[in-house]
Structure 1
Amino acid sequence: MDTEVKPSSRKGKSNYSRQFKRRLGVAACEPGVSVSKLALAHQVNANMAFKRRRDLRAGLLDDAAPAPAALLPVVLAEPLAAARGEQGKRKK
């Protein structure tokens, strides 16, 4: 597995492809694998390898694009007192 790094606009920050993140997460989930040794072999920080494993288990690295947020319609109703008209007023 080759480390795929894209150039970044911020100094010191690497951008890894989604496929690389997923492959690293899958490899970190294999039984008996040392995540620290895996990270060392791919020249990434061990914390990043553990994070990719967590992300994979949480379903954040699935190949499918995340579903867009659904928007719900909003209906504005008249205030209750205005709808009642004169009936809502108390007599003194």
Structure 2
Amino acid sequence: MSKDEMQISNRKGRPNYDPAYKRQVAIAACESNVSVAKLAQAHGLNPNMVFKWRREYRAGLLSNGGAEATVLLPVTLPTE
């Protein structure tokens, strides 16, 4: 995604990046021997934003469009 493809929000100067794009950049930032500053510069982003996206990805907050949805398992409690 380039800067031309992002959507501009109602707030002046604040782009809304697609969650899939955020996840892609965050995954790239997690790789070893990757400079987050250089990665951010290559994508035209602020390095602090990339660090934030990486933290969110590691915390499981960046979803994969439902591909990593939470799976609930049935639980039965023993009766007394």
TM-score, length basis structure 1: 0.65
Query: 1:66 offset after TM fit, Å?
Result: 6.5
Q: Unpaired runs of 5+ in structure 2? A: 71-80
Map 1:1-92 → 2, pairs under 5 A: 2-3=1-2, 4-63=5-64, 64=66
Moved over 4 A (4+): none
1:26 corresponds to which letter in structure 2? Answer: I
Distance 1:66 1:58 in 2: 14
TM-score (norm 2): 0.74
Q: Which is bigger in relative contact order (C-alpha 8 A, separation at least 6)?
A: 2
Larger radius of gyration: 1
Distance 1:66 1:17 in 2: 18
Counterparts of 2:48 and 2:69, CA distance in 1: 25
**Aligned alpha-carbon RMSD (Å):** 1.6
Structure 1 unmatched runs, 5+: 68-92
Identity value in percent: 50
